[in-house]
């Protein structure tokens, strides 16, 4: 009996370990995949990982940048999401993956300025090698991935259905996804598409 | 007598002003607002014309960079059943203040339209399920020949011409 139990424990541990392994079938994560953790520097030069965020029930990973008008249109909404949901365990983690040579406005120095000016309450991280964007499959800014506490991707897409005018937005996709996860429910709308600035990949 | 002559002169002046006004309107291209349905009509058109649908915005640097290639395609191939449509995805509030002046300044000759849909989630997949929504993006279609090519990247004239030549 004891032996069976240990065997069961071993199996379940192995299974748990397996399920926490990042899955990526190429072309980035799909809903249901487990995202990798990463270590990227914030605007103060300190490395930040998802695992560093205390009492996390999940994460709102936002690929964004400094210059893109769509990213700018969502700036305040991203801050508001963090202010509302970070105390409930869902922190925003913003990542800029744009290449500074292609888009000089998206340099690390300009990230620092923007974070200061807008008083970003969340980590704003610099994906200089673009490896994190590639692993996630992020293509545009803003491009959002809602992860649960095991880093399983539960939602990919837009923040809401009206980039131009927050007052006119009817569907708040990210908020709905986070609310569902907080209530232990399945996310209803798992994927949406939005127009955004293409991520500025390094010129090879 | 002198009164009618004066009237005649005034009429001519009015006609002249009207004519100039109309010509100016022809020069500064009007930008029609389109909905998903119009887009789908182009995508599904039973036509022997190649539709080159380019999604762009005035603020998108790589889009602005590739516009001359599409303009050249329009110049070289519009008589050979190739229709270039530049579909602006700018913010609606910027159509008058930014898109129209931009089109005028760059003297764009291809047809420019504005995508008047607030929620891209309703129409991005209609363009291509492959499209994530990142700009620039281009769809080249010839339904009668079953050609349907989608690109989520910047294109140059050589590539565009090669594709068009292959389809023609």
| Chain A residues touching residue B121 (CB < 8 angstroms) | 157-158, 161, 192-194
Is the pLDDT higher at B115 or at B1? Answer: B115
What is the Cα–Cα distance from A92 to A123, expressed in whole angstroms? 7
User: What distance in Å separates residue A137's CA from the closest CA in chain B?
Assistant: 10
pLDDT band at residue B7, thresholds of 50, 70 and 90? low
Q: Which of A178, A82, A196 is nearest to A133 (CA)?
A: A196
What is the Cα–Cα distance from A51 to A14, expressed in whole angstroms? 20
CB atoms within 10 A of CB A143: 31
Query: Per-residue pLDDT for chain A (204 aa), expressed as one digit of tens each?
Result: 455 555 554 555 444 444 455 554 457 999 999 999 999 999 999 999 999 999 999 999 999 999 999 999 999 999 999 999 999 999 999 999 999 999 999 999 999 999 999 999 999 999 999 999 999 999 999 999 999 999 999 999 999 999 999 999 999 999 999 999 999 999 999 999 989 999 999 987
What is the Cα–Cα distance from A93 to A155, expressed in whole angstroms? 15
The total domain count for chain B is 2
- Flag if A69 and B125 touch (Cβ within 8 Å): no
**C-beta separation of A88 from A57 below 8 A:** yes
One domain, residues B19 and B62: no
CA atoms A12, A17, A20, A26: torsion sign:
negative
- CATH number of the domain residue B39 falls in: 3.40.30.10
CB pairs under 8 A between A and B: 66
One domain, residues B115 and B58: yes
By C-alpha distance, the chain B residue nearest A28 is B132
By C-alpha distance, the chain A residue nearest B121 is A193
One domain, residues B141 and B152: yes
Question: Could you state, in order of their start, the residue ranges of all structural domains in chain A?
Answer: 28-198
Chain B residues at the A interface, defined by Cβ less than 8 Å, are 55, 57, 59-62, 89, 91-93, 118-121, 124-125, 131-136, 152-153
One domain, residues B23 and B55: no
| Helix A173-182, helix A69-85: angle, nearest 10 | 20
- Flag if A194 and B61 touch (Cβ within 8 Å): no
Whether residue B8 has pLDDT greater than 90 = no
Counting every residue written for chain A, the total comes to 204
What is the Cα–Cα distance from B109 to B164, expressed in whole angstroms? 19
Q: Which of B153, B154, B140 is nearest to B42 (CA)?
A: B140
Strands across the sheet containing B147-151: B33-34, B111-115, B82-88, B50-56, B137-142, B147-151
**Secondary structure letter of residue A164 according to DSSP:** S
Opening angle at CA B136, ends B45 and A142, nearest 5: 120
| Chain B residues touching residue A196 (CB < 8 angstroms) | 133-135
Whether residue B21 has pLDDT greater than 80 = no
Q: For position B165, what pLDDT does the model report?
A: 96
One domain, residues B91 and B161: yes
Percentage of residues of chain B with pLDDT beyond 90: 79
Whether residue B107 has pLDDT greater than 80 = yes
Pairing of strands B111-115, B82-88: parallel
User: What distance in Å separates residue B38's CA from the closest CA in chain A?
Assistant: 18
| Chain B residues touching residue A73 (CB < 8 angstroms) | 91
pLDDT band at residue B118, thresholds of 50, 70 and 90? confident
Q: For position A3, what pLDDT does the model report?
A: 54
CA atoms B44, B93, A63, B59: torsion sign:
positive
Whether residue B23 has pLDDT greater than 80 = no
Burial of B118: CB neighbours in 10 Å, binned 0-12, 13-18, 19+:
middle
Residue A143, chain B, CB below 8 Å: the answer is: yes
What is the Cα–Cα distance from B66 to A52, expressed in whole angstroms? 42
Q: For position A19, what pLDDT does the model report?
A: 45
**C-beta separation of A62 from A92 below 8 A:** yes
Residues 6+ apart with CB under 8 A from B97: none
| Chain A residues touching residue B62 (CB < 8 angstroms) | 198
One domain, residues B21 and B35: no
* Domain that includes residue B96, residue range: 31-167
By C-alpha distance, the chain A residue nearest B55 is A195
Take residue A101 and report the two structure tokens written for it: 């040579």
Q: So what's the ipTM on this one?
A: 0.81
Distances (CA, A) of A59 to A27, A64, A101, B62: 21, 15, 30, 31
One domain, residues B35 and B17: no
What would the 3-class secondary structure string for B114-128 be? EECCCCHHHCHHHHC
pLDDT band at residue B9, thresholds of 50, 70 and 90? low
Q: For position B22, what pLDDT does the model report?
A: 46
pLDDT tens figures, A85-117: 999 999 999 999 999 999 999 999 999 999 999
Output b/e per residue, A167-201; b: 16+ Cβ within 10 A.
eebeebbbbbbbebbeeeeebebbebbbbbbbbbe
User: What distance in Å separates residue B135's CA from the closest CA in chain A?
Assistant: 5
Enter the CATH code of domain A28-198: 3.40.30.10
Distances (CA, A) of A37 to A23, A78, A149, B101: 12, 21, 11, 46
Q: For position A204, what pLDDT does the model report?
A: 77
- Flag if A198 and B59 touch (Cβ within 8 Å): no
Q: For position B97, what pLDDT does the model report?
A: 96
One domain, residues B18 and B78: no
Residue A192, chain B, CB below 8 Å: the answer is: yes
Nearest CB partner across the interface for A139, out of B91, B120, B134: B134
What integer is the mean pLDDT of B107-122?
A: 94
- Flag if B118 and A158 touch (Cβ within 8 Å): no
| Chain B residues touching residue A139 (CB < 8 angstroms) | 132-134, 152
One domain, residues B15 and B74: no
One domain, residues B37 and B16: no
Residue A194, chain B, CB below 8 Å: the answer is: yes
pLDDT band at residue B24, thresholds of 50, 70 and 90? very low
State whether residue A60 is helix, strand or coil: strand
């Amino acid at each position: 009996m004891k032996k069976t139990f240990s065997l069961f424990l071993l199996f379940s541990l192995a299974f748990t370990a397996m399920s926490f392994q990042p899955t990526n079938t190429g072309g980035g994560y799909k809903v249901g995949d487990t995202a990798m953790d990463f270590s990227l520097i914030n605007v103060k030069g300190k490395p930040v990982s998802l695992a560093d965020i205390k009492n996390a029930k999940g994460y709102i990973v936002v690929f964004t940048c400094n210059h893109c008008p769509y990213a700018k249109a969502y700036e305040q909404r991203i801050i508001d999401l963090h202010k509302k949901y970070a105390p409930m365990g869902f922190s925003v983690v913003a990542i800029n993956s744009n290449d500074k040579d292609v888009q000089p406005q998206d340099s690390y120095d300009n990230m620092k300025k923007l974070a200061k000016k807008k008083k970003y309450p969340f980590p704003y991280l610099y994906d200089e090698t673009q490896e994190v964007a590639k692993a996630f499959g992020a293509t545009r800014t803003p491009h959002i991935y809602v992860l649960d506490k095991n880093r399983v991707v539960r939602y990919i897409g837009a923040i809401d259905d009206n980039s131009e005018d927050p007052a006119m937005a009817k569907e708040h996709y990210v908020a709905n996804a986070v609310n569902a996860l907080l209530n232990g429910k399945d996310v209803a709308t798992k994927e949406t598409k939005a127009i955004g600035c293409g991520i500025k990949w390094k010129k090879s | 007598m002198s009164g009618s002559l004066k009237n005649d002169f005034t009429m001519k002046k009015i006609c002249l002003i009207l004519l100039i006004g109309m010509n100016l309107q022809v020069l500064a291209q009007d930008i029609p607002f389109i909905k998903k349905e119009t887009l789908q009509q182009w995508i599904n058109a039973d036509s022997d014309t190649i539709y080159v649908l380019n999604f762009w915005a005035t603020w998108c640097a790589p889009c602005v960079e590739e516009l001359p290639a599409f303009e050249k395609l329009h110049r070289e191939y519009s008589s050979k059943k190739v229709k270039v449509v530049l579909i602006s995805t700018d913010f609606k509030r910027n159509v008058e203040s930014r898109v129209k002046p931009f089109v005028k300044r760059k003297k764009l000759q291809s047809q420019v339209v504005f995508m008047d849909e607030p929620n891209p989630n309703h129409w991005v997949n209609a363009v291509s399920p492959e499209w994530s929504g990142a700009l620039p993006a281009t769809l080249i279609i010839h339904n009668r020949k079953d050609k349907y090519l989608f690109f989520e990247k910047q294109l140059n004239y050589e590539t565009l011409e090669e594709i068009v030549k292959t389809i023609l």
